[in-house]
Amino acid sequence: MLKTRTQDEWIARAQEVLPAGGLGNFDPGIFIREGKGARVWDEDGNEYIDYLIGSGPMLLGHGHPEVQEAVFEQLPRGMTFFANNAPAIELAEEICRAVPCAEQIRYVSSGGEADMYAIRLARAFTGRDKIVKFEGGYHGMSAEAQMSLAPTRLANFPQAVPDSAGIPQSVAAEMLIAPFNDPDYIRSLLAEWGDQVAGIIVEPLQRIIPPAPGFLQLLRDEADKYGIVLIYDEVVTGFRFSYGGAQELYGVAPDICTLGKIIGGGFPLAAIAGRTDIMAHFDKAAVGADNWLMQLGTLSGNPVAAVAGLKTMEILRRDGQYDRLRGLGQQIMAMATEALDAHAIPHRIVGDRTLFEIVFTDNGVTNYRDVLHSDMARTARFNTILRQEGLFKSAGKTYPCLALSDEDLTQTRTAYQRAALAIAS
């Protein structure tokens, strides 16, 4: 029988075999043992309401019985094939029905991988090299994505600042960095560089920051004007904002988008989705060897992930699911506002009802620098108290899920009240 170990013991073991003692994703000082519904437990048995939900994919909550049943039915049939399989085709068909820009898709295993290929696809389609990225936008771990993701040294636009060692300077030379929600800057940037730009990659909701009215349409218009591929990174927003993602909610479609998290139902799965003429670059017979974009992956289109994603999406199509999700988010936002207003603590709740965060500032929040210049020390203290009060979340996002109960909401209200009181003094 396996010996039960304390969290401290697991931390010590992790430090021996993992750089910095963690997986690189989250606080290495906490080990999650299990999750059920909207709750998780750590290795010491501490219980939390989960507002991290695996960084987004567990929209239905942990261990949804229908998703589990679909997975258990698939497992005896095979776990992976490196070949076409029916669940992957069925999932692709459903994605193409749901997502406005999706005429065809290509599977990969992670959202960051999808973003890397989306950038490469834009270059293959246009024959150009430069990519426009917005400061603070997260698009995975590729060299291009690691430009001006979270810079503490603020350079003049459009200079790219690498966020990681090991990236050649030549990559920075092909990246043009712009401030999010600044239409005048984008117009001026593309007036100078537009004929050299292959793609504009953007999170329609940049981390937690919504697009200003008309901003996405401006990007659409400017991309059309200069023959640029407009890429939406919908790894987070896809099937969360609405069944058709942010592009459906905001009413502006890109040329291609990237999807992940929810489409795998908690398993590693992601996709690039877009227009047939662009996606044709994955088909050597269609475009020829010189224009072909080579892509393969051992687990791409994995059937277990596909059936989990199909069942998750089937549940999301049921009446009232998105109304319930938005209602839950609205209640949680109101709780935070009430708690902080009671102590006159300056703040903004930024984002969408399905994904948001509290930013401690007196000012509006329209781009990365607005968040960077907020009261980050107060944010850290607030999140520490929330953890102590039993809320499990990241430092920069709150993810509601459909499994939240009235009891969870009551505990959340109390946690916000106590955290607000703690940071008021």
Residue 47 domain-assigned? no
Token digits for 256?
């291609």
| Residue indicated by tokens 């960084």 | 55
Is 319 a known active-site residue?
no
- Catalytic residue, chosen from 130, 261, 311, 393, is 261
Residue 354 domain-assigned? yes
Q: Report the pLDDT value the prediction gives residue 133, as an integer from 0 to 100.
A: 98
Q: Report the pLDDT value the prediction gives residue 5, as an integer from 0 to 100.
A: 85
Residues 248 and 308 in one domain: yes
Distance CA 135, CA 157 (A): 9
Token digits for 416?
């916000």
Residues 76 and 183 in one domain: yes
Residues paired with residue 190 on neighbouring β-strands, in sequence order: none
- Last residue of one domain, picked from the residues 316, 338, 367: 316
Q: Report the pLDDT value the prediction gives residue 36, as an integer from 0 to 100.
A: 98
Q: Report the pLDDT value the prediction gives residue 1, as an integer from 0 to 100.
A: 43
Q: Report the pLDDT value the prediction gives residue 425, as an integer from 0 to 100.
A: 76
161-174 burial by CB neighbour count: b if 16+ within 10 A, else e? bbeeeebeeebbeb
- Residues 116-144: pLDDT tens digits? 999 999 999 999 999 999 999 999 999 99
- Catalytic residue, chosen from 42, 115, 233, 352, is 233
* Parts of the chain with a pLDDT under 50: 1
Q: Report the pLDDT value the prediction gives residue 2, as an integer from 0 to 100.
A: 53
Question: Does the bond joining 158 to the residue before it have cis omega, within 30 degrees of 0?
Answer: yes
| Residue indicated by tokens 């600042």 | 161
Is 393 a known active-site residue?
no
Is 138 a known active-site residue?
yes
Q: Report the pLDDT value the prediction gives residue 414, as an integer from 0 to 100.
A: 98
Residues 382 and 301 in one domain: no
Q: What is the CATH number of the domain that holds 174?
A: 3.40.640.10
Residue 7 domain-assigned? no
- Residues 233-282: pLDDT tens digits? 999 999 999 999 999 999 999 999 999 999 999 999 999 999 999 999 99
Distance CA 145, CA 13 (A): 32
- Catalytic residue, chosen from 51, 107, 138, 368, is 138
Confidence (pTM) = 0.96
The total number of structural domains that make up the chain: 2
- Last residue of one domain, picked from the residues 288, 316, 344: 316
Residues 352 and 280 in one domain: no
- Residues 332-365: pLDDT tens digits? 999 999 999 999 999 999 999 999 999 999 999 9
Distance CA 50, CA 40 (A): 6
Q: Report the pLDDT value the prediction gives residue 31, as an integer from 0 to 100.
A: 96
